[in-house]
Amino acid sequence: MAFEPHAPQADHSASTAPSFAQHRDLKLRWLYIVPAVFVTYSLAYVDRANYGFGAAAGLADTLHITTSQSALLGSLFFLGYFLLQIPGAAYARKRSARGLIFLSLVTWGILASLTGVIHQFWVLALDRLLLGAAESFILPGMLILLTKWFTRKERSRANTFLILGNPVTVMWMSVVTGYIIKAVGWQMTFIIEGLPSVLWGVVWYFVIRDRPEEASWISPESASALNTALDLEQSIIPRVPNIAAALKNPNVVLLCVQYFLWSIGVYGFVLWLPVIVQKGFSQGIATTGLVSAIPYAFAVFAMLIVSWLSDRASERIHFVWPFLILAGAAFFGSYLSTGYSFWVAFVFLIIAGAAMYAPYGPFFAIMPEMLPANVAGEVTALVNSMGALGSFLGSWAVGFLQGYTGNSKAGYLLMSAAVTLAGASMLLLKRPSRQ
């Protein structure tokens, strides 16, 4: 496969894709598919991000475990998340993303609820590991699903509405979870927040279809037009015979390293922000939840704006790296100001959170535009699994440093370095030549 290091990226999709103006029912994709994937990813984030609130509410004291063990419990989710990404993506591509995600929803809902029931450390550690494995199918499965429903000119926005489930969920969950914990305790909160995933699994199975031609709300003519557009897009991407050949692509290796570093910052931030806020602000858990929601509100707006600009410009790389560099600088600002002013440090955290989330849509549009459909799903899963390892390291290391040093400074410094390197590494990505 040939590469041109700095060649401009031509907008081939504009010239090859047929107009959908006469197929108005294709607009229903934004009413059926997008809300469904958003809700699914939102529920996944409830059941992974609420651990930070349990930790802030006294999980370690209730279970009589050390702060290091608590940090390990938080990070074990991501080790499980790493394990089954590629087999799950292969199944979603060859068989059914819809069926795989249905099974995942039901399984992780049960495991998430069990987090509030189990009292033995090693059993809870196994539960958190399996919870991560159950959720590992979600992101690659739904990204593969979206490639069958949305064209290149729509993909960054479609990806963004999917991944908006992350900051939007953490935003409202930061408020609601604080009050639920205050009312019924952290253990009952895990049970309450786990069960909706099981119920939603049933809704998902009856609403979603794997391909346009399987949906009753799209005419055969519209489904054919959409499939034709997607096939034309595939025709300009250089052929890759199999996943083994794709792994020899330097871009794939670089994206794995980049997302590993990026995820250190993101999940160190997501899992331990409530603890950081509670220690610095010294207020109750309900107020901690309200304050913790603020960075995610800014992240939502940043993601929507950046994805729209990326699709309009048909450009991905230059809508990723500047924001990660900004996030790294903001984390460093929090590092410098911690101990002097909580609110100054928190303003820097707001900037860091918004900048880290802003480029997700463009980033996940890179793989299916760089590689053909026969390998793009598995490569996306590989990149995401490397992100899971970064998440494991970030969530464990930030939690460990928080407990070991008694403050947030070391964690800020770690997240700053990781996210800055992630942004800088994007500049090395080479654009694929087009046929």
Summarised one tens digit per residue, pLDDT across range 6-53 is: 333 444 444 444 567 788 889 999 999 999 999 998 888 787 667 777
Q: Residue 262 and residue 359: Cα distance in Å, rounded?
A: 11
270-288 pLDDT tens trace? 766 766 676 666 655 556 6
Residue with tokens 């939502």: 300
What are 103-120's pLDDT values in tens digits? Answer: 999 998 999 888 888 888
Euclidean distance between CA atoms 69 and 283, whole angstroms? 25
pLDDT score recorded for residue 222: 94
Q: What is the pLDDT of residues 67-90, one digit of tens each?
A: 777 777 777 887 888 888 888 888
Tokens of 307: 């994805």
> Among residues of the chain, what percentage have pLDDT more than 90?
35
Query: Which secondary structure element, helix H or strand E, spans residue 5, and what is its range?
Result: none
Predicted TM-score (pTM) of this structure: 0.76
Greater model confidence, 117 or 161: 161
First to last CA, the chain: 11
Residues near 367 by beta carbon (within 8 Å), at least 6 away in sequence: 255, 376, 379, 380, 383
pLDDT, tens digit (0-9, with 9 covering 90-100), for 237-251:
888 888 888 888 899
For residues 149-155, average pLDDT: 92
Could you report the per-residue pLDDT of 354-371, keeping only the tens digit for each?
A: 999 999 999 999 998 888
- Average pLDDT over the chain reads 84
List CB contacts of 21: < 8 A, sequence separation 6 or more.
none
The amino acid occupying position 415 is M
Q: Is the pLDDT of residue 295 over 50?
A: yes
